[in-house]
Structure 1
Amino acid sequence: MAYADVNGINLYYEIHGAGRPLVLLHGGLGSGEMFGDNLDRLAADHQVILPDLQGHGRTADVDRPIDYVTMGDDIAALIGHLGLEKPDLVGYSLGGGVALQVAIRHPERVGRAVVVSAGIRRDATYPEILEQQGQVSGAAAEFMRDTPMYELYQRVAPHPEHFPRLLDKIGELMAKDYDHTEEVRGLQVPTLIMAADADMCPPSHFVEVFALLDGGRRDGGWMGEGRPKGGHALAILPGLTHYNVVDSPLFATTALAFLDQPGPDQTAQ
């Protein structure tokens, strides 16, 4: 357990296991603790670097908005601070959006990326979910006292009294329109797009993202010669939702199957 002063923030992180490095990024209103048994699965053969993102867990908030781009720069700076040589990234929900920004903005610092349950357009999210997200603000703090998110924050945050401020910033983040279509189209880092089959966005959205990466446009061929040239992949995990995909053993199993496969130069052509 340690802190790193990077990119204007004192970022908390833990290191678990040994092997090729993997940076694991949690979801909104959570922390690294949310991965449970999947952390052990990932750390069995990898060195897992487990940060708490801005204003989450044991990382105190700073005077700036919570924003995917800025948090992506935080993680890129952490990679440099730790001297990691192109670690892989696995990010879920909020962390998935952050991982995507690291891959887009700092491809030279990333080996492979797994982006889980993170849509790339705001309008791809179901309307009823957007309506619920519109109600997230500091005013909801009192109503969240019996939730796991509140309990976690009160237990580990450097300033437990800042929970309403975190809700305000998360609400502002979710209210912003976004469309990362063009950035994803030019993605250079081999990326697995992963989602639950009953996620916040329909499965068709994640198929659309895969298509931007040249996936699903032709038969893959006997030797995989028709697969996306960038090494990208798609996984829709069955029987899961946005809220429990990170608890399923399929989360770690599928991520590792992608991360541990041979590179393009090692596969048959």
Structure 2
Amino acid sequence: MTYAEVNGINLYFEEIGEGSPLVLLHGGLGSGEMFGAILPALTARHRVILPDLQGHGRTADIDRPIDVRTMADDIAALIDHLGLDRPDVAGYSLGGGVALQLAIRHPGKVGRLVAASAGIRRDATDPEILAQQGQVTGAAVEFMKDTPMYELYQRVAPRPEDFPRLLDKIGESMAVDYDFTEEVRGLQVPTLIVAADADMCPVSHFAEVFALLDGGVRDGGWDGSGRPKGGHALAILPGLTHYNLVDSPLFAQVTLDFLTTP
């Protein structure tokens, strides 16, 4: 097992495959194992680096809130630790939010960015989901003992007894209002926004994010000259939800295609 002491945290990561580096960031209450279904497609063309984010998987929690910005700083420090030169970065859900913050806060450390199922405003999330998120606390651990998230944590976490603490901190983080509109508008890294057509935020929100990146606001033209100036793109994947997008070959394919776009 491989760990890196970075940014005050003992960060677990794996490296699989060969080729240009791709840092892959998992969703909330998951780990790098979350990408198991699509990993073979990605590792066939990339050296994939799979970190476990703060308090997740094999990375023990530390005394600070769960926050996409500080976790982005962790990944920036990991990139330096590994001596990577502007690797591509892809993230899903919570990891998508971390990936966006990495590109916002450390643009010189990222080549291309893929952010999947990651809204940029809290109020864009389905109100029913926001209500459910408000019930996420350590007290809910008994109701989660039959879930894959609990099984994973008990199997790999350095301190399995910390699962209620993780639920408390995730619940607290989801209760904090956020709006990263202006930060996203200033993104300097070519970015692919990915979402399911039945995601946690409506398709209109992801179109709004794309518009912040100069996308979808004009005809692209026969020669593509009307496409977003920063090389940004949008992919809405059909027949998927927030919960199964990460397993979809479509997600792997659009990611690979975007990362190899001239």
Task: Give the shorter-chain TM-score range.
Answer: over 0.9
- Tell me the residue number matched to 2:142: 142
- Tell me the residue number matched to 2:81: 81
Question: How big is the shift at 1:142?
Answer: 1.0
1:258 aligns with 2:258: yes
Alignment gaps of 5+ in structure 1: 263-269
Question: How big is the shift at 1:81?
Answer: 0.3
- Tell me the residue number matched to 2:59: 59
- Tell me the residue number matched to 2:2: 2
2: CA distance between counterparts of 1:93 and 1:46? 21
2: CA distance between counterparts of 1:142 and 1:27? 21
TM-score between the two structures when normalised by the length of structure 1 = 0.97
1:72 aligns with 2:72: yes
Q: Let me know the Cα RMSD of the aligned residues.
A: 0.5
Question: Identity over aligned residues, as a percent?
Answer: 80
Deviations 1:14-69 (CA, angstroms, capped at 9, x unpaired): 00001000000000000000111211111101000000000000000001111000
Look up the equivalent residue of 2:212 and give its one-letter code: L
1:127 aligns with 2:127: yes
Q: After superposition, where does 1:199-210 map in structure 2 within 5 Å?
A: 199-210=199-210
Q: 1:85 is paired with a residue of what secondary structure?
A: coil
Q: 1:27 is paired with a residue of what secondary structure?
A: coil
Look up the equivalent residue of 1:194 and give its one-letter code: V
2: CA distance between counterparts of 1:132 and 1:117? 18
- Tell me the residue number matched to 1:173: 173
Alignment gaps of 5+ in structure 2: none
Deviations 1:175-215 (CA, angstroms, capped at 9, x unpaired): 00000000000000000000000000000000000000000
- Tell me the residue number matched to 1:265: none
Q: 1:37 is paired with a residue of what secondary structure?
A: coil
- Tell me the residue number matched to 1:151: 151
2: CA distance between counterparts of 1:72 and 1:249? 26
Deviating 4+ runs (over 2 angstroms): none
1:197 aligns with 2:206: no
- Tell me the residue number matched to 1:41: 41
2: CA distance between counterparts of 1:115 and 1:152? 24
Look up the equivalent residue of 2:190 and give its one-letter code: P
Look up the equivalent residue of 1:245 and give its one-letter code: L
Q: 2:38 is paired with a residue of what secondary structure?
A: helix
